[in-house]
Structure 1
Amino acid sequence: MVAIGEKAPNLKLGKWVQGMETNFDKEGDNVKLVEVFQVNCPGCFMHSIPEIINIYQKFKGDGLTVMGVATAFEDYDKNTLENLEMLLTTGEVVGDTKQALSQYGQLKDGKLPYKIPYPVAMDSLVKEGGEPTKEKMTAFIKNQLPDFDSQPEDYKQQIFERVKGYFKSKEYSAETFEMYSLQGTPSTILVDRKGVLRDVSFGQTVNLESMIQKLLSE
């Protein structure tokens, strides 16, 4: 688990699909912004990715590096490397993303009306197998419920059972997603010029641009 204020470890990635292969340690003293999305995530394509593209266009000459990471923590049949490659080469979208964007008239000839201009990689997906360890479940729970230890025993037991069910239903572990304890997609990871993790956000990031401006001026 990585904490805000600590050195940000390199992203664990499966394959670079677009752009030059890179990572935090290769980006010198640039500010680094990572956009974590799923191919099957309507909100990612309706709001978050267009916002990140704007930020990229605005600050790319000022010392900001932007990277996209496609992850998968559900819908493993849709959040695939093949669908990511199709998206980046042809603009075609699938599943819920296609349905929502069609509904809101945001597709052009059935495809995304914009191209993602920054490098994009697929998260490293590791096949899950067997029973999750108690340590793994405890770490997962404490990240979501910091006061878990002070809860009554029967409540703790219920939570353990639910988390065990969750882990058993998972086909894969997405390594970057889990290493940064992300809660869903879209998420952003922000790292300063010294390589220190400064922010991790899930959903709409209201003050992302002002945080980036502040880090660029440090």
Structure 2
Amino acid sequence: MSRLSYEHAPDWTVSQWMNTADDLTLASLRGQVVVLHAFQMLCPACVTHSIPQAKAIHQAFPPDKLRVVGLHSVFEHHDAMGPVSLKAFIHEFRLSFPIGIDQQSANNPIPVSMQAYRLQGTPSLILIDKNGDIRLHHFGHLDDLHVGAAIGQLLAEKTG
């Protein structure tokens, strides 16, 4: 299900970053289109569809115009999907874009960023425009042509 929106994207809350020396913030990415891929490494649709799609987007667009950011949002099987396992997963799948581990909530099994973005599960795709507004919010697999067209439209827009 896709939801078109113009609400301002909330900051993500990440306990650890992988594939980047710096902690990424939405403010630091302002002026670029951000493709936020929320996934879990034990999610079959993530492994077969969204991870390859995120890799392809990352390779297809210049990093000064578009940034792919992975958000590993674990809401089940917490013990099996810790940072050590994720690091091995990133290596095996040759993921080179930044990936943040969604901060676990103290009193809720749903991680903090997953709650803030009102994600229904994984995989989820969020497109954030150059001004930091959510322009597409989709749960499940979205075909490459649809994603590419939406990204092209966002890249062509002027910041305002």
User: How many Å separate the matches in 2 of 1:59 and 1:126?
Assistant: 34
Residue type at the aligned position of 1:12 = T
Matches within 5 A, 1:33-52: 33-52=35-54
Aligned position for 2:31: 29
User: How many Å separate the matches in 1 of 2:81 and 2:87?
Assistant: 11
Aligned position for 2:150: 211
Aligned position for 2:106: 127
SS of the residue 1:33 aligns to: strand
Is 2:2 the counterpart of 1:19? Answer: no
- Deviation of 1:180 after TM superposition, in Å, equals 0.7
User: Which of 164, 169, 178 lines up with 2:115 in the alignment?
Assistant: 178
Unaligned runs of 5+ in 1: 92-113, 129-169
Residue deviations 1:64-101 (CA, integer Å, cap 9, x gap): 01111111111122222221122224x2xxxxxxxxxx
User: How many Å separate the matches in 1 of 2:67 and 2:94?
Assistant: 17
What's the TM-score once normalised by structure 2's chain length?
Answer: 0.87
User: How many Å separate the matches in 1 of 2:49 and 2:152?
Assistant: 20
User: How many Å separate the matches in 1 of 2:112 and 2:48?
Assistant: 25
Aligned position for 2:5: 4
SS of the residue 1:194 aligns to: coil
Root-mean-square deviation (Å) = 1.7
Is 2:94 the counterpart of 1:190? Answer: no
Matches within 5 A, 1:105-120: 114-120=93-99
User: How many Å separate the matches in 1 of 2:19 and 2:64?
Assistant: 22
What's the TM-score once normalised by structure 1's chain length?
Answer: 0.65
Unaligned runs of 5+ in 2: none
Equivalent residues, number: 151
Residue deviations 1:160-217 (CA, integer Å, cap 9, x gap): xxxxxxxxxx6x3301111111111111111101111111111111211110000000
Residue deviations 1:85-143 (CA, integer Å, cap 9, x gap): 22224x2xxxxxxxxxxxxxxxxxxxxxx411201110010232xxxxxxxxxxxxxxx
Matches within 5 A, 1:132-147: none
Would you identify which runs of 4 or more consecutive aligned residues in structure 1 move more than 4 Å? none
| Conserved 8 A contact 1:62-1:216 | no
| Conserved 8 A contact 2:39-2:73 | yes
Which structure: greater helix fraction? 1
Report sequence identity in percent: 30
Larger radius of gyration: 1
Is 2:16 the counterpart of 1:79? Answer: no
User: How many Å separate the matches in 2 of 1:116 and 1:204?
Assistant: 19
Residue type at the aligned position of 2:32 = N
User: How many Å separate the matches in 2 of 1:80 and 1:9?
Assistant: 24
User: How many Å separate the matches in 2 of 1:18 and 1:52?
Assistant: 14
User: How many Å separate the matches in 2 of 1:46 and 1:173?
Assistant: 23
Residue type at the aligned position of 2:112 = E
Residue type at the aligned position of 2:106 = K
